Amino acid sequence: MALYEKLANDVEGLIRSGVYKPGDRLPSVRELSQQHGRSISTVIRAYLRLESKGLISSRPQSGFYVRESSASADDRPFLPILPSTPVSVSSPVDVSRLVLSTLRRIQVDHAVPLGSPYPDATAFPFAKLNRIAAKIGRSQKRWGVGDALPPGNCELIRQIAKRHLEGGLLVDPNQIIITVGATEAINLALQAVASPGDTVAVESPTFYAMLHAIERLGMRAIEVPTHPTLGIDTTALSGVIKRENVKACMLMPNFQNPLGFEMPDEQKKELMALLGEHEIPVVENAVYNELYFGKTAPSTLKKFDKKGLVVTCASFSKSLTAAYRIGWVLPGVYRDKIENLKFLNTLTSPPIPQMAIAEFLESGGYERHLRRLRKTYAHQTKLARALIHRFFPSGTRISEPRGGYVLWVEMPAKVDAMEVYRKALERGITVGPGHMFSVFEETYRNFIRINCSSPWSSKMEVALITVGKIVAYLAR
């Protein structure tokens, strides 16, 4: 337990036992710091934690006080995200300029990155990976293009096959192709299963990087209603397939960005039976599969694929390091086509990063790192949900992810996410406005996505509280 958590628990115990009664002023930050021998920042974090639980409140220029009704906020139930009801019409995709302009603003120096799509890099073993890469670079062997030609480094491929086996999926190493991150993997997969002008079915909301791939290749997208805990609605998808000429699906069945659900096995089986019946391939985005909060890894769609129609795409960018840009594809019946496309598109993937990651995996360091990372993300996501529940206005709905590091937040209907985005940015805070997650700009206009991967701190807590106050002001 962190020092601020222990201190918060001690003060909470004094409130619960009646030592401090409703309306009582608590010791000042400096007084409590001296009494308990803790730093000022530790005391501030403890008080903010108690404030997020609804036990105390702050008064400007006065201090912290026990709330008159300290349980009221905790008694208010969490409202879940409702199933989506998008406009299911095949449409051209034109989101890249809008997303790019938003992401550029999100990367403002020193801003609290609640709107960032990327995991916080400080949690990654970058120094250790760099030492391994430097050692490989200093070795006597001379590396050439031939060492990195598709399908990729054989030792890394072997390690990836082993990880899939540990997750319950038997993968032939010959069915693995290394790529430049998941972005290339997704683009290669989509090129292999569909052509310009074809319609691709996606979840709604869907991660904008997947919409970018559809846009880049001149395809059309159709959004399908999606349940916040069960995933894409197979009945709705069946109806879409019957009335539209759907050539492929592009889905994220585990810890979907932004909803965070893990599609249950029964739904995965039902989905693959439907797609198998119609011979429709599916590009499976599995980049968050290693970031589960439970005790066991999730199953993949490929596990239930009887015809080789699933092309699974993954990478180490969300779980180990984004700097090396190493991903892979499990291509199913499209193996030869994807390998050839890889050769034509980028020729090779960098050899030294492949070898460095392979050595790191072989050492056992990856699994130890993942255990810490999963625990951290689960804890931070839980804290963020509590703060949003406490400080956002009544009627706010919050996703309950099973893995990953993002939250999807539905604000009251009159709140415009772009206005929240602008006002938060003025205060040095970024959020991910919902318009980026749909083909139609107005579909999720009162939604925002929150990134929970940054190390938890008083700065993060204050940022979430500030955004909540902005939303409450706009909801009046």
* pLDDT tens figures, 228-279: 999 999 999 999 999 999 999 999 999 999 999 999 999 999 999 999 999 9
* Both structure tokens of 102: 């938003």
From the CB of residue 94, how many other CB atoms can be counted at a distance below 10 Å?
Answer: 11
Task: Categorize the per-residue pLDDT at 63 as very low, low, confident or very high, splitting at 50, 70 and 90.
Answer: confident
Q: What is the pLDDT of residue 99?
A: 79
Return the amino acid letter for 216: R
Task: Categorize the per-residue pLDDT at 220 as very low, low, confident or very high, splitting at 50, 70 and 90.
Answer: very high
The residue with greater pLDDT, 17 or 12, is 12
What is the reported pTM? 0.86
pLDDT digits (tens, 9 = 90+) for 436-457: 999 998 999 999 999 999 988 8
Domain 3-74 has CATH 1.10.530.10: no
Strand partners, 254: 262
Determine the Cα–Cα distance for residues 43 and 39; give it in Å rounded to an integer.
6
- The mean of the pLDDT values for the chain is 91
Greatest alpha-carbon span in the chain:
73
* Ramachandran angles phi, psi of 451, nearest 5°: -90, 125
Task: Categorize the per-residue pLDDT at 54 as very low, low, confident or very high, splitting at 50, 70 and 90.
Answer: confident
CATH of 76-82+94-121+370-474, one of 3.30.1280.10, 3.40.50.1980, 3.90.1150.10, 3.30.1490.20: 3.90.1150.10
Determine the Cα–Cα distance for residues 47 and 56; give it in Å rounded to an integer.
8
The sign of the torsion formed by the CA atoms of 95, 96, 97, 100 equals positive
* Ramachandran angles phi, psi of 252, nearest 5°: -130, 85
* The 3-state secondary structure of 114-155, one letter per residue: CCCCCCCHHHCCHHHHHHHHHHHHHCCCCCCHHHCCCCCCHH
**Lowest-confidence region among 146-150, 179-183, 343-347, 372-376:** 146-150
The beta strand positions in 386-443, using DSSP E, are 397-398, 406-410, 432-433
* Both structure tokens of 438: 């749909």
Q: What are the extents of the domains in the chain?
A: 3-74, 76-82+94-121+370-474, 125-366
Return the amino acid letter for 177: I
Q: What is the pLDDT of residue 70?
A: 46
Query: What is the torsion angle, in degrees rounded to the nearest 10, for the CA atoms of residue 173, residue 307, residue 335 and residue 238?
Result: -120
The answer to whether 281 and 334 have CB atoms below 8 angstroms apart is: yes
The residue with greater pLDDT, 383 or 303, is 303
Per-residue pLDDT for 164 more than 50? Answer: yes
Q: What is the pLDDT of residue 144?
A: 59
Strand partners, 447: 410
Write down the CATH number for the domain with range 125-366. 3.40.640.10
* Ramachandran angles phi, psi of 199, nearest 5°: -100, 130
